[in-house]
Each structure stands twice: as C-alpha cells, then as structure tokens.
Amino acid sequence: MSSEDRGREWGPSFPKRAPNCLKCQFFSVSWDPSFPRSCLVFGVKSRDMPSTVVFQSTGRHCPAFKESPRLKK
C-alpha cells in the first residue's frame, strides 16, 4: 500500500497551503458587519478569511475546500 493510499484510508489529506476562500463553494458573506466572512462547513464567522481561522485553531490548512461551481472558467 502506497503512502497516498494510507492517507486516504486514515482520513482527509490536508493541503500544503491555505486555500483561497473566495473561490470555495462553502464561503459566504455574513450579515454581521463585525464578522463579514463565514464558512458554511466549519460555522466560522470572522474578520479574517475562514481558512486562516481554521489554521489558527487546528494547525492545519482547511480540508473542506471545494471549488465553487459559480466561478467563471
């Protein structure tokens, strides 16, 4: 079994750098002017990008990033 297979077996793989939340389908703008950015997966609302908050809290970059289908290609 390769190391890639082991990673899939034991849990999600974490990216090496923070994803761009603005391109994520789970990013949203909240109604709260004090905390304008939010993540629908983690329930984070903050002034910073949600991926920054996830990294500060867990020490790992966001594993939930999924490119938004709304983006123009």
CA angle 5, 19, 32 (to 5 degrees): 130
The whole model's pTM is what? 0.72
Tens digits of residue pLDDT in 16-71? 888 999 999 999 999 999 999 999 999 999 999 999 999 999 999 999 999 999 88
- In the prediction, which pLDDT does 34 show? 95
SS3 6: helix
β-sheet bridge partners, residue 39: 27, 44
